[in-house]
Amino acid sequence: MPRGRYSLHDPHDHAPLGEERFQCATGPTGWRYVSQLTDPSGGRTDSTDLTLDDLGRPLRLELRTAQWQVRGAALDGVTWVRTDPAGEHAQEGNALAHAFTGASPAFLVAVARLLRLAPGAPATRVRLVSFTPPALAPRTLDRAWALLESETHPTDSGPLVVDHYRVDDLETGERYSVHLAGDVVLAAPGIELEELESPPSTFT
């Protein structure tokens, strides 16, 4: 069960956004990721709880910020409820999308798990519903993912397979790289892995 810490920053001006402490685990029915974000001053802010089934579909998503929370799952595409903590302003939503995305590194692992791309294959288009803190307002967007290569690196705990993805934002034309090892993000725009207490889990 990997546990660790990511540092998050704005990918454009590199302003620090905080740290995300996480733990995740694979199981016979899928994968679960839970995390707590602290802001640069050390105060707790957002949390993420994401569970995937064995096909990579979101079984359950729960996001929380100081003012909003979202619960969602794969149902008729993806379905969610966004509300304030008191539950007085609940809004339901649905979109013909494949999965969710957001600020947490968990969503990069989730999309890669869902697509299960082969190295060198053509890019695959995926439609996602994004929830960005602090408002967690839903936005539907399209990305194109391609697995460029997989490299095996020797480590003290055994071989480590690192997957290098190219991701294209089909709305803005922005292109960036994502490096994953199992269920851990090694590098991505705005994300740096600072600590990892145990090796990444391997998806079968």
Segment-wise mean pLDDT, segments of 10 residues, the chain, 204 residues: 93 91 91 94 88 96 95 97 88 97 97 96 97 94 97 85 97 96 96 94 82
- Statement: the pTM of the whole predicted model exceeds 0.85: yes
Spatial neighbors of 204 by CB under 8 A, at least 6 apart, are 26
Angle formed at CA 189 by CA 111 and CA 12, multiple of 5 degrees: 135
HSE, CB side, 13 Å, CA atoms: give it for residue 42.
0
pLDDT per residue as tens digits for the range 10-55:
988 989 999 999 999 998 889 999 999 998 887 878 999 999 999 9
- Cis amide linkage into residue 134, ω under 30° from 0: yes
Helix (H, G, I), strand (E, B) or coil at 115: helix
